[in-house]
A and B are shown apart, each in its own frame.
Chain A
Amino acid sequence: MGSLHVLWLQSGGCGGCSMSLLNADTPDWAATLRTSGIEWLWHPSLSLASGEAVLQMLEDCLSGAQPLDVLCIEGALLRGPQGSGRFHLLAGTGVPMISWVRRLAGVARYVVAVGSCAAWGGVSGARNHATEACGLQFEDDQPGGLLGAAFRSGAGLPVINVAGCPTHPGWVIDSLMALADGSLSADDLDSLQRPRFYADQLVHHGCTRNEFYEFKASAEQPSDLGCMMEHMGCKGTQAHADCNTRLWNGEGSCTRGGYACISCTEPGFQDPGHAFDATPKVAGIPIGLPTDMPKAWFVALASLSKSATPRRVKTNATADHIVVPPVARKTRLK
């Protein structure tokens, strides 16, 4: 198999997915991609070519003179004002980026939405946004977006949504590597077209606060060690991502950083309908319970586990460091 030619363009986003990508866990970033058969046609942060040379390359992709295997789009597609696309003209062309993206998507073997902006609209598509932002094939959770629900790329796949805000570098690298070796098929995408290798996990898996969760020993303010589901807005039990098993920046994750998972891989995360750092409740019960748990069971288990919470867990939950350590037994473990 030849190289996988990747073209990366940015529109209405913050550039954070590119910056995140550079943090991929490798001592030689360029070699990781090259030895996987991935060849950059152009990346706005990394390539030498500027100006007219880039525009020529885009034309060559459109004419077929240059094979375009993967079109990666980072950032939301800005359709405004009034559908004109003038909120983002591709520099040097006077032509709306949405037109470039529509045309290039038409010749690409695969189209990849990098990050939640390109997948769903993301923060750029927040409730009171003015830019008419949308994702490539979704607008929040509604299929459609810029390219339309029926869109299929040259290889017959819908847009691959490597969602996240930003997206984890590992999710992007794995996706590109799977495309390069031909091992990513439609079955490997979930119902929102996200690669299942990360989207079949929950953020809750591997969270260091799991013991606090078990006992509903809860954090009450930032920097507390307890579970953040009950009071601090954590959506880790519902958010599809492997953030606590495939860590960020070596050893981090949102919950390890002391703040709630805001489910940034899900459509509409930017407008949760409540303050990000607070858990909405009805009659004292959080409304956003784990999706696969009946509410009555949750309530019963929570009240039982709260009554059984060890002092250690209860005390540490509202402290910023371990105040009560686990008891060291004098005898051997049995």
Chain B
Amino acid sequence: MSNTPTGRLLVGPFNRVEGDLEVQLQVADGRVASAQVNATMYRGFEQLLPGRAVRDALVVVPRICGICSVSQSVAAARALADAAGVTPPPNGQHALNLMQACENLADHLSHFYLFFAPDFTRPIYADRPWWPEAVRRWAALGAGVTQGEHARQALAARQRWFTLMGTLGGKWPHTQSVQPGGSSRAIDAAERLRLMSKLREMRAFLESTLFAAPLEDIAALRDAAALARWHAADPLRGDLRFFLTVADDLALAQLGAGPGRTLSWGAYPQPDAGLALAAGVCEHPSASPLTRQAPDVRLVTEDATHAWLADSGGPRHPAQGVTLPDVDKPAAYSWNKAPRLDGRVVETGAIARQLADGQPLITDVVQCHGSQVVSRVLARLIELARVLPMMERWLGAIVPREPFYTPDSLPDEGEGMGLTEAARGALGHWVRWRNGRLLHYQIVAPTSWNFSPRDAQGQPGALEAALVGAPVYPGERTPVAVQHIVRSFDPCMVCTVH
């Protein structure tokens, strides 16, 4: 057997991601030479929405995704609000933000404990000094294996955390309390207090198990050097430091470089019209300073050259987009289109949000080491530490007995756009209707950006490029480095193939 794997590898089914993913690798001399990312399912929401009553979108679109259903609802509600010219009252805006943050933070928690960390328990790492501890904390659920202790605790914390949604949104996933004019569920004084105690429960879990430090201390780490000092002080204490220990040993910061350009639409609008997390496009080419600018949504196109979807007329802005299957198209290999910003590949996700918002630690880490497996995971965890205190403030600002909902009157004809941030990144809905019936509905989901196939210029998508150079060890059929890289993006294929 050769020590340097070479040839073609088809990796799938790819699990502990949301939905169906297949990755085709060309391997040369023990490294990935090129990759093709295939979303293997088509669902067709953009075909089943037209013809329906406009507000039906609020029932149908959460069902695009069971993991970011609130974000889908928020994008739809915002698109309708955009057309109707309605704004939620302050209580309503806070309630929507609390629901969306609840979902986004739960997603970060599930991603870390259930999807990402279990790869460190693989037998391939059995000779590493940290392996037994990784198994004890993070083992996946499985035949004959008791799930890791911290994974179990995280799952329990997540379940308690989602009781917030029971009060705020009736049920999760697929609440319908997210409305263009705010929330259909007013919160009374006693409920506000009970919700506060649930925020404190999550704070306690994060401060004991994940960070082993106060959230404010984590959010105050200003640069890569401060993070390194904090880590070195007690390298096994808490799951973030233990992750950094493992990541250092495996040199994960060398894996999965992103395109050096990130996009966030910005998140959590505030009653005073600002955003709690600013929007932005950031460029961080290696060895030059990071730049930020406001995203120009007019520059978004979706390119279907390599998708099994009709592409006559070339790449289109989603307001004019079409999504119709074309199964026998030559050169197609995915159900995902290739979204581009000004014709260029961008990465989206927590890292993009934290960069756009100017968070000092993530900015410095990305300046020093780029966007890669470690900085992507770190950005999600930093977001947990930053957003929970924001939720405490939003909940504190709710005034019981004041309205949560502003009546809207949708015009007979309308056109709107709803932009928001799901946990995995930039999400946009584009809608148009006439005579009270939907005519046009296009969705550009976060994973569509990150996991896009090649475009007409042959540019590979963000993940396709990030996989190049990943090591493939002798005998590996599902290379572990590839798994770390893929899961660092936390793909949601069901959103992608909506």
Q: Which residues of A contact B (CB under 8 A)?
A: 10-20, 22-31, 34, 39-55, 78, 81, 84, 86-93, 122-124, 126-131, 165-166, 221-223, 243, 247-260, 262, 264, 270, 274-278, 320-321
Please tell me which one of the listed residues B63, B152, B170 contacts residue A257 in the complex, with CB atoms under 8 A apart. B170
A12 — which chain B residues lie within 8 A by C-beta?
Answer: 41, 43
Shortest Cβ distance from A169 into chain B, in angstroms? 9
Segment from B16-24, B230-238, B385-393 that makes contact with A: B16-24
A247 — which chain B residues lie within 8 A by C-beta?
Answer: 166
Most buried by A among B65, B170, B175, B327: B170
Contact A320 B403 (CB under 8 A): yes
A256 — which chain B residues lie within 8 A by C-beta?
Answer: 166, 170, 185
Contact A14 B65 (CB under 8 A): yes
Q: Knowing that A16-B67, A50-B478, A276-B176 are A-B contacts, what are 6 other residue pairs whose CB atoms are under 8 Å apart, sorted by A's residue number? A: A16-B65, A20-B172, A54-B13, A81-B325, A252-B166, A276-B55
With A47-B140, A223-B183 as known contacts, state yes or no: A15 contacts B19, CB within 8 Å. Answer: yes
Q: Which residues of B contact A (CB under 8 A)?
A: 10-16, 18-22, 38, 40-44, 47-48, 50-51, 53, 55-56, 58-60, 63-67, 69, 110, 114-115, 118, 121-122, 139-143, 145-147, 152, 155-156, 158-160, 162-167, 169-177, 179, 181-186, 188, 325, 327, 400-401, 403-405, 407, 477-478, 483, 494
Contact B53 A123 (CB under 8 A): no
User: Whole-angstrom distance between the alpha carbons of A47 and B15 in the complex?
Assistant: 8
B477 — which chain A residues lie within 8 A by C-beta?
Answer: 51-52
Contact A19 B173 (CB under 8 A): yes
Contact A166 B42 (CB under 8 A): no
Tell me what chain A mostly uses at the interface: helix, strand, loop, or mixed: loop
Shortest Cβ distance from A128 into chain B, in angstroms? 5
With A23-B162, A44-B15 as known contacts, state yes or no: A252 contacts B167, CB within 8 Å. Answer: yes
User: Whole-angstrom distance between the alpha carbons of A259 and B407 in the complex?
Assistant: 14
Sort A-B residue pairs by CB-CB distance and give the 7 closest, nearest first: A257-B170, A16-B66, A92-B12, A91-B12, A250-B163, A252-B166, A249-B166
User: Whole-angstrom distance between the alpha carbons of A247 and B110 in the complex?
Assistant: 23
With A166-B66, A257-B176 as known contacts, state yes or no: A22 contacts B110, CB within 8 Å. Answer: yes
Sampled A-B contacts (12; CB under 8 Å): A14-B66, A19-B66, A22-B159, A29-B156, A45-B16, A46-B142, A88-B20, A90-B40, A91-B21, A126-B60, A254-B176, A258-B183
Contact B152 A131 (CB under 8 A): no
Shortest Cβ distance from A250 into chain B, in angstroms? 3
With A27-B156, A276-B59 as known contacts, state yes or no: A251 contacts B43, CB within 8 Å. Answer: no
Contact A11 B41 (CB under 8 A): yes
Contact B166 A223 (CB under 8 A): no
Contact B47 A130 (CB under 8 A): yes
Contact A15 B494 (CB under 8 A): yes
With A49-B15, A248-B171, A320-B405 as known contacts, state yes or no: A257 contacts B177, CB within 8 Å. Answer: yes
Name the residue on B nearest A92 (C-beta).
B12
A51 — which chain B residues lie within 8 A by C-beta?
Answer: 11-14, 477-478
Shortest Cβ distance from B39 into chain A, in angstroms? 9
User: Whole-angstrom distance between the alpha carbons of A260 and B48 in the complex?
Assistant: 21
Name the residue on B nearest A243 (C-beta).
B171
Please tell me which one of the listed residues B55, B158, B171 contacts residue A252 in the complex, with CB atoms under 8 A apart. B171
Contact B177 A221 (CB under 8 A): no
With A14-B494, A41-B143 as known contacts, state yes or no: A249 contacts B165, CB within 8 Å. Answer: yes
Name the residue on B nearest A84 (C-beta).
B327
Contact A91 B14 (CB under 8 A): yes
A52 — which chain B residues lie within 8 A by C-beta?
Answer: 477-478
B122 — which chain A residues lie within 8 A by C-beta?
Answer: 48
Name the residue on A nearest B172 (C-beta).
A249
Shortest Cβ distance from B205 into chain A, in angstroms? 12
B403 — which chain A residues lie within 8 A by C-beta?
Answer: 223, 320
Contact B183 A23 (CB under 8 A): no
A274 — which chain B residues lie within 8 A by C-beta?
Answer: 53
Name the residue on B nearest A87 (C-beta).
B42
Contact A258 B182 (CB under 8 A): no
User: Whole-angstrom distance between the alpha carbons of A42 and B405 in the complex?
Assistant: 44
Contact A46 B478 (CB under 8 A): no
User: Whole-angstrom distance between the alpha carbons of A12 and B63 in the complex?
Assistant: 11
B44 — which chain A residues lie within 8 A by C-beta?
Answer: 124, 129-131
Contact B22 A92 (CB under 8 A): yes
With A90-B40, A128-B47 as known contacts, state yes or no: A222 contacts B405, CB within 8 Å. Answer: yes
Contact A29 B152 (CB under 8 A): yes
Name the residue on B nearest A52 (C-beta).
B477
Please tell me which one of the listed residues B10, B175, B184, B478 contacts residue A53 in the complex, with CB atoms under 8 A apart. B478
User: Whole-angstrom distance between the alpha carbons of A277 and B20 in the complex?
Assistant: 33
Contact A22 B13 (CB under 8 A): no
Name the residue on A nearest B57 (C-beta).
A276
Contact B175 A257 (CB under 8 A): yes
Name the residue on B nearest A82 (C-beta).
B327
B407 — which chain A residues lie within 8 A by C-beta?
Answer: 221
Contact A130 B325 (CB under 8 A): yes
Shortest Cβ distance from A48 into chain B, in angstroms? 4
Name the residue on B nearest A258 (C-beta).
B184
Shortest Cβ distance from A58 into chain B, in angstroms? 9
Name the residue on A nearest B19 (C-beta).
A15
Contact A258 B185 (CB under 8 A): yes
Most buried by B among A16, A18, A54, A165: A16
B115 — which chain A residues lie within 8 A by C-beta?
Answer: 45
With A223-B185, A320-B405, A321-B400 as known contacts, state yes or no: A18 contacts B66, CB within 8 Å. Answer: yes
Most buried by A among B63, B158, B400: B63
User: Whole-angstrom distance between the alpha carbons of A131 and B16 in the complex?
Assistant: 25
A258 — which chain B residues lie within 8 A by C-beta?
Answer: 170, 177, 183-186
